[in-house]
A and B are shown apart, each in its own frame.
Chain A
Amino acid sequence: MLFHIDDLPVYFPYDRIYPEQYAYMCSLKQTLDAQGHGVLEMPSGTGKTVSLLSLIVSYQQHYPEKRKLIYCSRTVPEIEKALAELKRLVEYRKSCGLNETILGLGLTSRRNLCLHPSVSKEKKGKVVDARCHNLTAPWVREAAQAGQDIETCSFYEELERGDVRELVPDAIYTLDDIKELGKAKKTCPYYMARRLLSHANVIIYSYHYMLDPKIADLISKELSKDSIVVFDEAHNIDNVCIDSLSLDIMRPTLEASSKSIAQLSERIETMKQQGSEKLKNEYEKLVQGLQDTLAARDEESIMANPALPDDLLHEAVPGNIRKAEHFVAFLKRFNEYLKTRLRVLNVTAETPSSFLRHLKEITFIERKPLQFCAERLSLLTRTLELNNLDDLASLQRVAALATLVATYDKGFMLVLEPYESENATVPNPILRFACLDASIAIKPVFERFSSVIITSGTLSPLDMYPKILDFKATVQESYPMTLTRNCFLPMVITRGSDQVAISSKFEVRNDPAVVRNFGNILIEFGKIVPDGIVAFFPSYLYMESIIAMWHEMGILTEAWKTKLIFVETPDSAETSIALDNYRRACENGRGAILLAVARGKVSEGIDFDHHYGRAVVMFGIPYQYTESRILKARLEFLRDEHRVRENDFLTFDALRHAAQCLGRVLRGKTDYGLMVFADRRYARQDKRSKLPKWINQYITDTSVNLSTDMGIAIAKKFLRSMAQPLETQAQLGVSLWTLDDVLARQKAQKEKLERVGGVHQQLQQQYGAVEAQRMMQARASGDVYMEVD
């Protein structure tokens, strides 16, 4: 359908639209017009992606600036879903008679896109990258062109021959499409996609291409400033930011990097003996401070600087690491120093500056050359024309640590943990360089792009994200869900049928009474819920101990009578088999129970729509392991820097994961399901207020403090009413709008606006245009905040 938001014609590829989709688009447009950042929370399964794409594509095509859309998502399946949605949208726009050229494509790793007969068989992403590099590195290609018998990649050569723009007609390419195109034209799809990024109107790829400085520098550097950046499913974005600047170093890493250092110096020796000019050239250029010219062709480089672009030093490499052999000795010293640090058998936590001081005391390594470490290493590997870069991975890590530790001081912490777990007796030391401040990695994105939109199904409380990511949101909004029938029922079970309070609190979590009551919930719901039930636990450890106790108590055999039981494990292959069988069991017979873990693979990105999940049970509150040193340091940092209290953050984090788990059950308005919060602490206001608005809205006072038997009674009634057939007609006008509804709504809105407009004119007469504008904006934003509250 086609409708207008203000003056913007929006093409929406379906005949009906949900009211929240319309509202979402309006806020989006507001954000884009203001060229600001936005935080938008929209119920899961209400077509967030399609409304986002259709509005932004319409926006892009309507205005002459043609702002590029960069859509970042979390996993490959999600990227594919978004691409498919985009493709449908563009086809719809064409069928409406629009004559426009839109180039949209997705980017993923070489492993998913490679066509080379042997390289594509490799399973590990790193190996594919390294082998690809071996075939496409400039010196390899030069040697091959000079007639030497060296293998190159025919697909890449083909790409080099022609112009990418001519090869690829404007259209939308899903990941499969681009691969097909590559096959047809016999060119490399990965590099094709990468080179097209600067021409594309819509780019869909993973967060990492935007946030991880190592990759972002290679891939996203040339994207224009007025691009619209969207982070979808962004509830975990702070963790992604932190991970992209954190590093772990272990003993084997150091050993491997020692080996690599030895290899490097050998290679330097042989090169010198062969009288190669290359080292000398490199040196000369460094003396003149021209390392930038050396790094000119950066498409091939797969070793990038781990620091953020703003923090890179644009000056000559310090004199003491200019010569290759000096640099290798330098690396060796640093590496040996790290080894001595790993020998320490007590836990230490220190700031980067104290680390640097000690380093200087012991090894006389200064900060400056350390900062250049990663860059110098990538230069050296290029000069030495090294292949098999995956062998150098450990050394790269060490160099990355060197650069990061010397570049950043505030918001970082070095923690050395000698033992893997608390009761381990064999030391397995690990040095963690932990980023504590999520805003550091994302800062360049906010600074560079005028509009960044963060959206997900679970972002509550909304003001937390601007705080921890340190940005100002022009629009932040959470949408309630409009429903014709209450198709999901959240309930808080606080005690068992025997009135014993249930909780996953540390003191009582292994109490047999609590465990039995948890078990009873499972058994009872197994009896009344048709098809699939998914049950989430706070951690693997707790799940294991509970399952063992259930086994002893005979609870598993009892549950077995009604449903099959499957378990998620840390191993992803095992889990996917379990999931597959769970789905099969849901399609046949009496259904199944899946025991999973919050923060695990199942809780993120796997949907349990319709009969795959009729009930989700969250046993306990999924708090993080609070004794972890890094978490403690992060909490302290948040408290000192962002004024976020420890408890607030922990609860926020636990509840966003709980909401994420429970949100899995509902994928659309025709779906229905139960959401069971099984912990007495959920009844408290401070916990409930941190749940997304659309869930909170349906938690009634009668369903917040239930015992198991009461919960069962309510659930029975709910399921019985939900099993009745649902007429689409009934939804129309309430939770589903046709074009007429949209127009009616707009008319009403307009009338309201006219009333407000009168006020505006008055103000204008009194205070002049600019001031009036400002005042109106203040009013409008005031309205927005009122609604959020």
Chain B
Amino acid sequence: MAATMTMNTSLLDDDVCPVCQTDRYLNPQMKLKVGPCFHKMCENCIERLFAHGPAPCPTCRQTLRKATFSEQTFEDLSVEKEVRIRKQMSSRFNKRREDFKTLKDYNDYLETVEDLTFKLVNEIDVETTKQAIDRFAAENRELIKINADRLLNESRMATHRQEMLRKERQQQREAYLKELEAEQLAKSEDRKSLIQELATSDKSAKTILAARQAISLKKTSMRKTEVKPITASSVGSTSMFSDSYRWMQQNEDLDRRQQEEEEDQANDNFDPVQSLYMDVELGVGYVNSVNNNKAHAGGLVYPLLTSSIGVKDLYVEPLGVGNLSQVAKAGGYRNAFGYERAIEDAHTALYLPGL
């Protein structure tokens, strides 16, 4: 979990700032940072050296700025460097399995990327490598952009899912606790009434106890059979749905689109929810769209497979939409509800296996 991840460098006891030779013993608060040339320096030294703008690194003479220093994540600086290079690489080389015809092609691609990265990391043929990378980036500009967007969407979806899962579990736990509490309450209540009965009734204590025993046995067996499914499915599914609803509301930019959509309704224009996917030539991919015109009929979504044809051309009107709209209205659907489901489905469609 990124949020809870707090780097505590105090564990690295043998830290010494190579510039001022201060060590952890003298200055327990010392923080070492790493510049783009991968030389360490303590914060004080950075303040001192780069107070008046760019200055050369004391170790390698490369010109550096204060802002370029960042905290060290890895103990091993070579890994730190590698990861930074990978970060740059991953922003360009983001092709996916779906972008290739065969697994072998994909693996070959992965290997070339790895080769390039490896060269950069170990500083072999840096110039030619960089050229190759630029060439690739130029050739695949559009695909890179699409994949970047996809990635963004996916990560958003993943966060959302995680959040939903967490909430669901919490709900389950609460339900369980409530159940326990109710049971406890019933038990104590039972006890009270038993004592009451024993005190007031003129039946013998034995018969009263026996009757009680029978009742409580029945109850426990009832509980065993009954309670199970309640906590299992129904709580889970409703919470899933209501949660996703809430998420949609929180998700600002989607929300805004949704509002626009509602405003645009009168125009009868085609207005897909995710404009990102529209009118782009995709080799293989999904286009998720909601036809605004018919959407209020019940939130229908058509994941379409496009090659070079526009989304609009492929749109097929489903049968009986008019009737459906009647039904939907009778069912009390609000438009917004339909859109939410549409968006939800659009996102889940991303998780379909490659076609």
A782 within 8 A of B: no
B73 within 8 A of A: yes
Alpha-carbon distance between A223 and B83 when the two chains are bound, in angstroms: 46
A363 within 8 A of B: yes
Contact residues of A: prevailing secondary structure: helix
A310 within 8 A of B: no
B6 within 8 A of A: yes
- Per-residue 0/1 for A329-361: is the Cβ within 8 Å of any B Cβ (1 yes, 0 no)? 100110011011101111010100110011001
B contact residues, total (Cβ < 8 Å): 44
Alpha-carbon distance between A643 and B104 when the two chains are bound, in angstroms: 45
Complex partner residue of A344 from B5, B83, B109, B232, CB under 8 angstroms:
B5
Which stretch, A121-129, A156-164, A313-321, touches the partner chain B? A313-321
Alpha-carbon distance between A643 and B76 when the two chains are bound, in angstroms: 46
Q: Which residues of A contact B9 (CB under 8 A)?
A: 343
- Per-residue 0/1 for B149-186: is the Cβ within 8 Å of any A Cβ (1 yes, 0 no)? 00000010010001000000100110010000000000
A640 within 8 A of B: yes
Alpha-carbon distance between A323 and B115 when the two chains are bound, in angstroms: 9
Alpha-carbon distance between A294 and B90 when the two chains are bound, in angstroms: 32
Say whether A340 contacts B75, CB under 8 Å: yes
Complex partner residue of B1 from A321, A329, A348, CB under 8 angstroms:
A348
Interface residues of B in 5-35 (CB under 8 A from A): 5-9, 11-12
A325 within 8 A of B: yes
B263 within 8 A of A: no
Alpha-carbon distance between A640 and B235 when the two chains are bound, in angstroms: 12
Say whether A344 contacts B6, CB under 8 Å: yes
Q: Which residues of A contact B90 (CB under 8 A)?
A: 364
- Per-residue 0/1 for B56-94: is the Cβ within 8 Å of any A Cβ (1 yes, 0 no)? 000000000000000001111001001100110110000
Using known A-B contacts A333-B79, A336-B74, determine if residue A316 contacts B107 with beta carbons closer than 8 Å: yes
Q: Chain A nearest CB: distance from B336 CB in Å?
A: 31
Complex partner residue of A639 from B5, B12, B162, B176, CB under 8 angstroms:
B176
Using known A-B contacts A329-B121, A332-B76, A358-B2, determine if residue A315 contacts B114 with beta carbons closer than 8 Å: no
A427 within 8 A of B: yes
Alpha-carbon distance between A315 and B2 when the two chains are bound, in angstroms: 32
Alpha-carbon distance between A362 and B107 when the two chains are bound, in angstroms: 22
Among B74, B106, B113, B173, max chain A CB count under 10 A is at B74
Complex partner residue of B118 from A329, A337, A343, CB under 8 angstroms:
A329
Alpha-carbon distance between A325 and B232 when the two chains are bound, in angstroms: 49
Say whether B74 contacts A316, CB under 8 Å: no
Say whether B1 contacts A354, CB under 8 Å: yes
B103 within 8 A of A: yes
Using known A-B contacts A289-B104, A364-B86, determine if residue A339 contacts B75 with beta carbons closer than 8 Å: yes
Interface residues of B in 196-242 (CB under 8 A from A): 228, 232
Q: Which residues of A contact B74 (CB under 8 A)?
A: 336-337, 339-340
Alpha-carbon distance between A354 and B163 when the two chains are bound, in angstroms: 11
Using known A-B contacts A322-B107, A346-B6, A357-B158, determine if residue A364 contacts B83 with beta carbons closer than 8 Å: yes
Nearest chain-A residue to B161 (Cβ)? Answer: A353
Say whether B79 contacts A358, CB under 8 Å: no
Say whether B6 contacts A345, CB under 8 Å: yes
Complex partner residue of B228 from A318, A336, A643, CB under 8 angstroms:
A643
Using known A-B contacts A333-B82, A339-B74, A643-B228, determine if residue A358 contacts B104 with beta carbons closer than 8 Å: no
Nearest chain-A residue to B12 (Cβ)? Answer: A343
Alpha-carbon distance between A346 and B115 when the two chains are bound, in angstroms: 38
Q: Using a CB–CB distance below 8 Å, which chain A residues touch chain B?
A: 287, 289, 315-323, 325-326, 329, 332-333, 336-337, 339-341, 343-346, 348, 350, 353-354, 357-358, 361-364, 427, 636, 639-640, 643
Q: Using a CB–CB distance below 8 Å, which chain B residues touch chain A?
A: 1-2, 4-9, 11-12, 73-76, 79, 82-83, 86-87, 89-90, 103-104, 106-115, 118, 121, 155, 158, 162, 169, 172-173, 176, 228, 232
List 18 interface pairs A-B (beta carbons < 8 Å), by A numbering. A289-B104, A316-B107, A318-B110, A326-B118, A332-B76, A333-B83, A336-B74, A340-B7, A340-B73, A340-B74, A341-B5, A343-B9, A343-B12, A350-B1, A362-B83, A363-B83, A636-B169, A636-B173
Nearest first, the 8 A-B pairs at minimum CB distance are A319-B110, A319-B107, A319-B111, A320-B114, A320-B110, A336-B79, A364-B86, A336-B74
Given contacts A329-B121, A333-B82, A344-B5, 10 further A-B contacts (CB under 8 A): A317-B107, A319-B108, A319-B109, A319-B110, A319-B114, A333-B79, A339-B74, A339-B75, A348-B4, A364-B87
